Structure formats: structure tokens, C-alpha cells
Amino acid sequence: MREVTIIDVSPRDGLQIEPNIISTNDKVELINRLVASGIEKIEATSFVHPAKVPQMADASEVLNEIVSKNDIKPVVLIPNMKGFERASKHQVVELNWVTSATETFNKININMSTEENFEIFKSVLREARLADIQVCFSIAVSFGCPYEGRVPEENVLQLVERAKKLGVNRIGIADTIGMATPNEVDRLIKKVLKVAGDRPVSVHLHDTRGFGAANAYAAYLAGLRIFETSVSGIGGCPFAPGSAGNLATEDLVYLFERMGIKTNINFEKLLDTADFAAKLSSKEPLGRVRHLDRERTIEELCL
């Protein structure tokens, strides 16, 4: 029985900063491999303006390919009503909307204030309900901002409370620049879960300072059970100076499975998928486990 849910974001967050355009076929192949590994929920792409994130210009083509071939639950990131209109033409299970916990990051990331962003979100949420599409409200830079530094917990908790009152399907807490430490994760996640009540909460961790796995375990001990990761640790935010790749899916699966926490993911297939993802990346991916002796690593999960 699965005890935690892992949402892989590599096709979107993992590839969005790549300077060279990845082919649609390679994106589809990455998603197909993730599905074959047992990952059911995947953030497949985003409907942002191609001028802002050229890598995601083929969002429609990717979605058309994967939903025709897989029993998949695709998540799609949208930044505005136009993004919703484009996404709603496709078979998606969930839309991911991002609001930042600081005004400066909101202004630089989406060129509007937090309040302006939230007002548009309310309109999008109404339309999503009519279209029977679930919505995740994600809060970027929840632990630290590249422009404002440390973020007051109250900034995050106020947004969580507002999202809960609107009835969102999921609330996401993101350590966008990998600044959090385990004690900070423990403290904030406990407060978030209390405010969120019956709303599912996920955490999105970057591994900039090497604390990704420790922070994930701290979130688990705090009571959280949904994790966003990126296979091979590829990716990062194009609007967050200093951010590095995400916590590697295979590293977190290895940690949890070694501890007897079930993920229902085929680790051997996941390692092969991590190798494939690494080849798509122009940077050295942050994932660690795939560099170890493969046969021995797989055996360790059976000890």
C-alpha cells in the first residue's frame, strides 16, 4: 500500500530552463518512461507565453501525445486566464497556479502584485470548477526569496488560509531557491497543515544547498505525504537567481523505500528514466543515487 505520493515535475520544471529546445518526441518519451516507472501524476507542461518560456511552446502537442497513449494524470501549470483557456481544451486532471509569498518575486515573475494575482486566480478557479478540473494553489518562495531574503511565515499562512476558503483541491508549498533547512520545514509545514485542514498539501523542494532529502524527510515527519520532485534532479526556476535543480525523484524514492515508506514506484525503471532525463539536461543534474553501483543499489532496497 502506497504511503506517500510523488508528483514528478521534470517534464515542466525540469526542462523549462534548458537553453536548447528539447524535441516534443523527447518530452513525450520522458513522460512515457515516468508512467512506466509507476508515477501516476506528472506535471507535463505549462501554458505560459512562448516568448517568456520558449521551451514550453509545444504544450498542446505534448498533451495530445501523452493522453492518447497513457492512463496518465497530467498536471499543467498556468499563469493566467489565457493559459487556462488553452489548457482547458485538453484532458488534464489538475491545473497548477503559482503565487509568490513575496511582492518582489511576484512582480518579477508575473509582473503583478500578490493581490492582483489572487484576484485573477479566483476567476480561473471558478472556470475550472465549471470545467470539472482540479486546481492546485502553489506558493513560491515559501522559505526564502532571491530578492527579499527570508520570508515571514505569516506571508505563507495567509495565502494558505485564503486558498483553503476558496476550496482549492491542493495547496503547494515551494522552496523555490532551495533555502530551507529541516527545522524550518518542520515548523512551517506543521502550521500549514493545521491551517489547510482537510485540504491536501504538497511540498516542492529544490536541492540548491544539498538539503533536499533532509527537508523532504522533515516534511514527512511533520505529517505531509505529497512530494513534488524531478527525476535526475534536473531543472530550476528561470526567474529565481541562484536556484539549482529540484530534489531528484529517484533519491527521494530510494530514501523512502530504504526506510520502509512505500511509494509504489519501480526503482529500477526510475533509474533508467533518470539516465534519460540527464541526457536532456545541459547541466550536471543534482541526482545522486543513479551514480552509484546500480545492481547493489537496487539490492539495498530489498535488505
Beta bridge pairs of residue 94:
75, 134
DSSP string for residues in 247-285: PBHHHHHHHHHHTT------HHHHHHHHHHHHHH-SS--
Residue in the block written with cell 504538497? 202
For 33, 137, 171, the CA distances from 156, given in Å and listed in that order, are 35, 12, 11
Beta bridge pairs of residue 5:
226
Report the half-sphere exposure of 257 (CA within 13 A, side-chain side).
21
Joined grid coordinates for residue 259: 526506510
- Show Cβ contacts of residue 276 under 8 Å, excluding neighbours closer than 6 positions: 29, 30, 33
DSSP string for residues in 68-84: HH---EEEEEE-SHHHH
Q: Which positions are annotated as active-site residues?
A: 237
